[in-house]
DNA sequence: TATGAATGAGCGTTCATTCAT
DNA sequence: GATGAATGAACGCTCATTCAT
């Protein structure tokens, strides 16, 4: 039957959605979240305002789609990292570096991700928010570390949340204050604090990293 | 002369501002930041839209006022803590407990405070945002700890940001997931991780807290 | 009876109306017609907004009153001129000078006078607008001139209207273009044109003024 | 390609702008300048308020457009007259007749054009208001007359302003008083006064009209 | 009588969404 | 499917007017 035609159509539709999402991202970058109107998205995508509604039921759906597209590469990469045969510390390091590098790039996207409670609820996909994903991956790493015997026993879930919160806030502050510390440096400090703590312990070897 | 009348009027005006601010908070809770319209605030406050403008020049001013009202008690309390003659660890503990207790109360306020770039820029007081205040206080505590010799040398500013980010994210997750861990417990885990790190060090006495 | 009290009250009320009208004029000068709000008038008068309504039923009535007050001195002066035992040419000259001097002073008042059809209809007092008054006085002068035999026969009413229109437009243009020709000079040119015309007549003595 | 469609669209858009402008004029006629709200314009045009903004960026632009539409035909005609190979007197006559006929038609437009400072500032086209245009054209005619030797030396600019002011006021008064003198008659009287003046000169042939 | 807080209709403007073509 | 003009509800804000004190 029209199997082929069907395929073609789906492909074309998919390409169109991508194009529109990219346009939306561009608008986001230029005008920020509040300035992201359907008109501007349409213009930026080079299509008519009406066409947007052929591919997305409404603005909400477009936003959700964009959200997914922003997060997706990071998710992919994080899963790649998780799948690697690395020790917990190395995984942690790789994960932190990836997040810092990825989200440091675009302030407006970052704002977009956290903007509003309404949006956040919008962008949840089957109880699996970005937060959930990230923290659960951190949690996995922490558990792996405990099994490996390199991390001492602790509540992995809470520690994972602390880690993620710390990373995100670090990124946010960098952007907010206009600082440009190299991600590498931030990774080092994060690991230093989270692995060893900041307190002198009697037996803590001075100068040890 | 009309000293008394003057006083009364001021009091009434102040009460009105408070009432409107509370209404705004209620709207914020119900509809989120994007849904916080002057109309809704007026309705919620039980006054007319026009009356809002007898007490606040515009929406911006109202939002700033609300922001200040939310943050002020925490700021006061944090300054009280900072002024106490306590060791760094105790101060840290007190500060964490205060934040966890204070901000655990209202989810939407929390969103309001942190997740909107527009608000963030709006609510800066002479380059001194709430973030600035909180992180700089944490930073002070960390430096005090280094001077006291209880904290090992580290970049206090970054560590302060990590701490604050971790605390805030913990609160957010509690609210998001509907968990209700006692603040006391969260404080303990935060201190545990940040003071000692999660890694076994060769000399770290196993099982030690 | 309370004849005296009555009188006093009337006097006080009258003074109040005057004060408010002066305040309104000040506002008019500062903010123009569109910027003339009851709030500003009240502030400028040093009374409360509510008090305005004890002396004027509404904004319309206040505006009418102000209009009268602006026009009144000119009306008085014009009637004084009309009553003087002068020849038509001298009267004309005196009248023109008075108008030019009077209205050259305040641009915003002038705008106020002509602003809007609605206002114009508002400010008519028993079919006797400022225009009516002015043109009818010019008309009288022209008729007097014809009787004196110094003016040749012509339709006095139309000529009066031309004169008044010419004067007003001259004033308006001076204000609009920011020019500052001395009223004396303008009077001279007005008389020159209106008395002798601009055409050479065969018998017109060249160079004659 | 879509050349035709393009054309059609442009035509439709142009027609729409015209329709809206006409509606605006109607509102102007009915409610005066102060009463000209976008809502009323939309109602009068039979479209929604939002549609107005598809054709005019804002109220200002709409007003400017209306202004241009009113003035343009007169400007065209005046330029045609100026370009004709006529003597100064004939040009003057033609110009006066045109103005009287053109502006006699709509009172409210007239009000609109002249009596609002806000509009006046709005509708300036490169420092060249309608006033400027009209007076400068009168001025040209007067200078031409002086060169031709039919007008005696005089300050052409001031005289031009007087002429224009006189014409406009005549029109205004006709409309205000509900008189309906034929433009022809008004032209005759204007020329009579401005060309010959109203004063008897010794050599002025008595009885001449 | 003086007050000024409260009002609420109305303003210009925006923008997500629809629908006839 | 693509279009873009039309829509209309909603927004932030103003201000003449009222009324309890």
Q: Which of B159, B168, B199 sits opposite A150 (nearest CB)?
A: B199
The chains found to touch C (3+ Cβ pairs under 8 angstroms) are: D
C70 — pLDDT class (breaks 50, 70, 90): confident
Neighbours of D110 (CB within 10 A): 19
| Gap between the Cα atoms of C87 and C83, Å rounded | 11
Answer whether A169 sits within 8 Å of B172, measured CB to CB. no
B and A in touch (3+ CB pairs within 8 angstroms):
yes
C and D in touch (3+ CB pairs within 8 angstroms):
yes
Answer whether B165 sits within 8 Å of A161, measured CB to CB. no
Answer whether D196 sits within 8 Å of C192, measured CB to CB. no
Residue A178, exposed/middle/buried by CB under 10 A (0-12, 13-18, 19+)?
exposed
pLDDT of residue C43: 94
**Is the predicted pLDDT of residue A78 greater than 50, yes or no?**
yes
Q: What is the pTM of this model?
A: 0.85
B50: nt with nearest C1' to CA: E7
pLDDT of residue D201: 65
**Is the predicted pLDDT of residue D39 greater than 70, yes or no?**
yes
Answer whether A193 sits within 8 Å of B33, measured CB to CB. no
Long-range CB pairs of B122-131 (<8 Å, 24+ gap) are B122/B60, B122/B63, B122/B64, B122/B67, B123/B63, B123/B64, B123/B67, B123/B68, B130/B71, B130/B75, B131/A173, B131/A176, B131/B164
| Gap between the Cα atoms of D176 and C121, Å rounded | 10
3-state SS string over chain A?
CCHHHHHHHHHHHHHHHHHHHHHHHHHHHHHCCCCCCHHHHHHHHCCCHHHHHHHCCCHHHHHHHHHHHHHHHHHHHHHHHHHCCCCHHHHHHHHHHHHHHHHHCCHHHHHHHHCCHHHHHHCCCCCCCHHHHHHHHHHHHHHHHHHHCCECCCCHHHHHHHHHHHHHHHHHHHHHHCCCCCHHHHHHHHHHHHHHCCECCCCCCCCCC
The CA distances from residue A201 to B88, B91, B206, D14, D74, in Å, are 15, 19, 13, 81, 93
CA-based nearest residue to B134, from B189, B81, B63: B81
| Gap between the Cα atoms of A40 and A51, Å rounded | 13
**Is the predicted pLDDT of residue A91 greater than 70, yes or no?**
yes
Q: By the 8 A CB rule, do A45 and A23 touch?
A: yes
- pLDDT tens readout for residues D62-111: 988 988 888 888 889 999 999 999 999 999 999 999 999 887 776 666 66
Q: By the 8 A CB rule, do D78 and D95 touch?
A: yes
Given CB atoms, is B120 within the 8 Å cutoff of chain A? yes
What average pLDDT score do residues C109-122 get? 64
pLDDT of residue D162: 95
Residue whose CA is minimally distant from F17 C1': C58
**Is the predicted pLDDT of residue D127 greater than 50, yes or no?**
no
How many residues belong to chain A? Answer: 209
| Gap between the Cα atoms of D49 and A64, Å rounded | 32
B48: nt with nearest C1' to CA: E7
Q: By the 8 A CB rule, do A135 and A160 touch?
A: yes
- pLDDT tens readout for residues D145-170: 999 999 999 999 999 999 999 998 89
Q: By the 8 A CB rule, do D139 and D133 touch?
A: no
What average pLDDT score do residues C176-198 get? 90
Question: Using a CB-CB distance cutoff of 8 angstroms, which residues of chain C are in contact with residue D147?
Answer: none
CA-based nearest residue to D117, from C109, C138, A150, B109: C109
- pLDDT tens readout for residues C14-58: 889 999 999 999 998 888 888 899 999 999 999 999 999 999 999
- pLDDT tens readout for residues A42-65: 999 999 999 999 999 999 899 989
Answer whether B164 sits within 8 Å of A164, measured CB to CB. no
How far does A76 lie from chain B, in Å, by closest CA? 23
Question: Which of B27, B37, B117, B118 is the best residue to mutate to test the A interface, defined by the most A CB atoms within 10 Å of its own CB?
Answer: B117
Given CB atoms, is D195 within the 8 Å cutoff of chain C? yes
pLDDT of residue D111: 63
Helix, strand and coil in chain C, % to nearest 5: 75, 0, 25
**Is the predicted pLDDT of residue A125 greater than 90, yes or no?**
no
| Gap between the Cα atoms of D43 and D47, Å rounded | 6
| Gap between the Cα atoms of C2 and C8, Å rounded | 10
- pLDDT tens readout for residues D7-24: 777 888 888 999 999 999
A112 — pLDDT class (breaks 50, 70, 90): confident
pLDDT of residue C108: 66
Instruction: Determine the residue of chain B that is closest to A108 in CA distance.
Output: B117
Question: Which of C90, C142, C199 is the best residue to mutate to test the D interface, defined by the most D CB atoms within 10 Å of its own CB?
Answer: C199
Q: Which of C114, C117, C150 sits opposite D200 (nearest CB)?
A: C150
Q: Which residues contact B21 (CB under 8 A, 6 or more apart)?
A: B62, B65, B66, B69
pLDDT of residue D7: 76
- For the ranges A163-172, B96-105, C101-110, C181-190, the lowest mean pLDDT is seen at C101-110
Residues of chain B with pLDDT under 50: 1, 125-127, 203-209
Q: By the 8 A CB rule, do D150 and D88 touch?
A: yes
| Gap between the Cα atoms of C156 and C135, Å rounded | 10
pLDDT of residue B134: 82
pLDDT of residue D67: 83
CA of residue C50 to C1' of nucleotide F18, angstroms: 9
* D62, D63, D67, D69: CA torsion to nearest 10: 20
| Gap between the Cα atoms of D167 and D163, Å rounded | 6
Q: By the 8 A CB rule, do C183 and D195 touch?
A: no
CA of residue D59 to C1' of nucleotide E7, angstroms: 28
Answer whether A194 sits within 8 Å of B196, measured CB to CB. no
Main-chain dihedrals φ then ψ at residue B199, nearest 5 degrees: -90, 140
What average pLDDT score do residues A20-38 get? 90
**Is the predicted pLDDT of residue A209 greater than 50, yes or no?**
no
- pLDDT tens readout for residues A150-185: 999 999 999 999 999 999 889 888 877 778 899 999
3-state SS string over chain D?
CCHHHHHHHHHHHHHHHHHHHHHHHHHHHHHCCCCCCHHHHHHHHCCCHHHHHHHCCCHHHHHHHHHHHHHHHHHHHHHHHHHCCCCHHHHHHHHHHHHHHHHCCCHHHHHHHHCCHHHHHHCCCCCCCHHHHHHHHHHHHHHHHHHHCCECCCCHHHHHHHHHHHHHHHHHHHHHHCCCCCHHHHHHHHHHHHHHCCECCCCCCCCCC
| Ramachandran category for residue B46: left, alpha or beta (phi over 0 → left; psi -120 to 50 → alpha) | left
Answer whether B201 sits within 8 Å of A198, measured CB to CB. no
pLDDT of residue A208: 44
pLDDT of residue D95: 95
pLDDT of residue D13: 83
Q: Which residue has the tokens 């505006």?
A: C63
Neighbours of C179 (CB within 10 A): 11
Q: Which of B170, B198, B200 sits opposite A142 (nearest CB)?
A: B198
| Gap between the Cα atoms of D178 and D132, Å rounded | 28
CA of residue D38 to C1' of nucleotide F17, angstroms: 24
What average pLDDT score do residues D116-139 get? 66
- Using alpha carbons only, give the angle D104, D109, D113 rounded to the nearest 5 degrees: 110
| Gap between the Cα atoms of D107 and D87, Å rounded | 32
Q: Provide the token pair at A184.
A: 């590498």
Answer whether B33 sits within 8 Å of A190, measured CB to CB. no
Given CB atoms, is C5 within the 8 Å cutoff of chain D? no
What average pLDDT score do residues A183-190 get? 95
D190 — pLDDT class (breaks 50, 70, 90): very high
Can you tell me whether residue B47 is helix, strand or coil?
Answer: coil
pLDDT of residue C204: 47
Q: How many CA atoms lie within 13 A of D186 on its CB side?
A: 28
pLDDT of residue A207: 45
What average pLDDT score do residues A95-110 get? 82
A204 — pLDDT class (breaks 50, 70, 90): very low
pLDDT of residue B83: 95
Q: Which of C118, C196, C206 sits opposite D197 (nearest CB)?
A: C196
How far does A67 lie from chain B, in Å, by closest CA? 16
Nucleotides of E under 7 A from a protein CB: 1-20
pLDDT of residue A13: 82
What average pLDDT score do residues A118-131 get? 58
Question: Using a CB-CB distance cutoff of 8 angstroms, which residues of chain A are in contact with residue B206?
Answer: 152
With a CB-CB cutoff of 8 Å, which residues 30-89 of chain D face chain C? 32-35, 89
C and B in touch (3+ CB pairs within 8 angstroms):
no
């Amino acid at each position: 039957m029209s199997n082929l035609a069907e395929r073609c159509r789906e492909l074309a539709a998919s390409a169109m959605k991508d194009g529109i999402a990219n346009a939306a991202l561009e608008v986001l970058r230029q005008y920020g979240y509040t300035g992201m109107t359907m008109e501007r998205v349409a213009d930026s995508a080079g299509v008519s305002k009406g066409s947007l509604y052929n591919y997305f039921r409404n603005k909400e759906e477009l936003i959700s789609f964009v959200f997914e597209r922003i997060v997706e590469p990071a998710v992919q990469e994080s899963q790649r990292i998780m799948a690697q045969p690395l020790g917990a510390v190395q995984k942690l390091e790789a994960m932190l570096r990836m997040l810092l590098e990825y989200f440091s790039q675009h302030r407006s996207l970052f704002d977009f991700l956290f903007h509003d409670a309404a949006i956040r609820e919008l962008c949840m996909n089957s109880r699996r928010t970005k937060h959930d994903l990230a923290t659960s991956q951190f949690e996995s790493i922490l558990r792996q570390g405990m099994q490996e015997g390199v991390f001492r026993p602790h509540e992995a879930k809470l520690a994972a949340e602390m880690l993620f919160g710390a990373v995100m806030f670090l990124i946010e502050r960098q952007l907010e204050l206009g600082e440009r510390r190299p991600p590498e440096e931030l990774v080092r400090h994060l690991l230093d604090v989270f692995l060893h703590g900041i307190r002198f312990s009697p037996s803590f070897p001075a100068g040890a990293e």
